[in-house]
Amino acid sequence: MEQLKKMSASTRSTIITYGMVIVLFAVMQALSSAKVISSSTTGLLVPITAYVCLSISLNLVVGISGELSLGHAGFMSVGAFTGIVVASMLADTITLGWARLLVSMLIGGMFAGLAGFLVGVPVMRLHGDYLAIVTLAFGEIIKNLLNNLYVGFDAKGLHLSMKSAQALGMEGGKIIINGPQGAVGISKLSTFLFGFLLVLFTLTVVLNLINSRTGRAIMAVRDNRIAAESVGINTTKYRLIAFVVSAALAGMAGVLYGLNFSSIVPKKFDFNTSILILVFVVLGGMGNIRGGIIAAIVLTILPEKLRFIGDFRMLMYAIVLISVMLVTNNKTFQTKLGMLRERIRRRKDPDLDLVASRAGGDGNE
């Protein structure tokens, strides 16, 4: 009985999260096809799904594993540019748009995961703030590498250079990545539907991971490293798993993001983007996946909606951020909110309070 109640509690939260994502998708899809929302907002739909994925994946590192990563945009860009190259190479082989996107996404995710592994292996042996420092550096290094990377594709295959477009020695063909000018002439493969599917996929992977043996080990290391070691958990391994999975998911979101624009520059994935994703996670509550999703959606739409106040836009944005942080962490506010909630519940059915909660429990069993 006790167990069933508990299972339903954790499952209930999961179901609410899935339900929220599905409902949001359905509403937005209906609104955009009915042309109720402006075209600028419609253009934001795919980036929003990408940011939601990034928020969920970063939550795995920051909230669940308890490490600070400041280079999430770096993994995103590894995924994005790998995905763009793969999509361009397969342009003639796979004509089906969604299939090409899927393959690009898988390969982009793999490359980002590999990058995460290479960064994580040395860093996960250390403790404290080292991960933050190294990931910060990683983001900058990746940005500078991509600024100097030239990739071309012709009949002979793939050409790589770190010097210039001429050094590629192309015979016809097409330059995919052109150094600081970034990738141009990308075929826009990303759709809102596919973004939604990626959100569901990311959500499934992260939630399943959290509610499994591996996830428990990751959270044990977060809560108390010494105790986790003392019960035989290899702390380095589980921190690394969280980090690599997160990097791979960020890479996939990067592919979705990259293939949504006709051109994209490496500068897009800079430190500010990493911080933006971190803000989603912190604002939504560390470890709170659902909160992170809502924060990602609101904070992506908000700057656009605040355009009408012109120069005060970023000021308002900052004020909103600060007030949300202050208010949600305010003890007085929390107690007041709790009391209010209690009163509403009581007023709804004053006598059937206990019965209702019991029935709710039974309903889930």
Partner 1 sequence: MSSETKATYKAQSAAAKRRSIQKDEERQESRAAKQARKNQTRMVPVPSQSIVPERDVGKQPILECRNLGIDFGGLKAVDDFNMMIGRTEIAGLIGPNGAGKTTVFNLLTKVYQPTRGTILLDGVDTAGMDTAKVSKAGIARTFQNIRLFGSLTVEDNVRIGLHNQIKCGMWSGMLRLPRHWITEKEYHDKALELLDVFHMADNANDIAGSLPYGAQRRLEIVRALATNPKLLLLDEPAAGMNPSETAELMDTIKHIRDTFGIAILLIEHDMDLVMGICEGIAVLSFGKVIAKGTPYDIQNNPQVIEAYLGKQEDKGGE
CA 166 – CA 335 distance, rounded (Å): 66
CA 24 – CA 19 distance, rounded (Å): 8
Which amino acid, residue 241? Answer: I
Shortest distance in whole angstroms from residue 269 CB to partner 1? 26
Q: SS3 of 178, please?
A: strand
Here the tokens at position 127 are: 């403790």
For residue 157, give Cα distances in angstroms to 162, 171, 175.
17, 10, 12
Q: SS3 of 325, please?
A: helix
Residue 121 is a binding residue for partner 1 (CB under 8 A): no
Q: Which stretch in 27-35, 69-77, 218-226, 304-312 sits in contact with partner 1 by CB under 8 A? A: 218-226
Residue 212 is a binding residue for partner 1 (CB under 8 A): yes
Tell which one of 93, 166, 213, 365 touches partner 1 (CB under 8 A): 213
Q: Which stretch in 43-51, 52-60, 155-163, 226-234 sits in contact with partner 1 by CB under 8 A? A: 226-234
Residue 114 is a binding residue for partner 1 (CB under 8 A): no
CA 148 – CA 142 distance, rounded (Å): 10
Residue 347 is a binding residue for partner 1 (CB under 8 A): no
Q: Which stretch in 119-127, 214-222, 258-266, 332-340 sits in contact with partner 1 by CB under 8 A? A: 214-222
Task: Single out the residue of 21, 124, 63, 73 nearest to residue 250, CA to CA.
Answer: 73
Residue 205 is a binding residue for partner 1 (CB under 8 A): yes
To the nearest 10 degrees (0 to 180), the angle between helices 331-348 and 313-328 is: 70
Residue 230 is a binding residue for partner 1 (CB under 8 A): yes
H runs (alpha helix) in 60-168: 72-89, 97-123, 130-147
Tell which one of 103, 228, 283, 293 touches partner 1 (CB under 8 A): 228
Residue 219 is a binding residue for partner 1 (CB under 8 A): yes
Torsion sign across C-alpha atoms 159, 163, 166, 169: negative
219-239 burial, b for 16+ CB within 10 Å, e for fewer? bbbbeeeeebeeeebebeebb
Shortest distance in whole angstroms from residue 66 CB to partner 1? 10
Q: Which is nearer to partner 1, 3 or 93 (CB)?
A: 3
Residue 233 is a binding residue for partner 1 (CB under 8 A): yes
Residue 216 is a binding residue for partner 1 (CB under 8 A): yes
Shortest distance in whole angstroms from residue 126 CB to partner 1? 15
Q: Which is nearer to partner 1, 172 or 232 (CB)?
A: 232
Note the residues at the interface with partner 1 (CB under 8 A): 2-3, 5-6, 9, 205, 208-209, 211-217, 219-220, 223-224, 226-235, 241
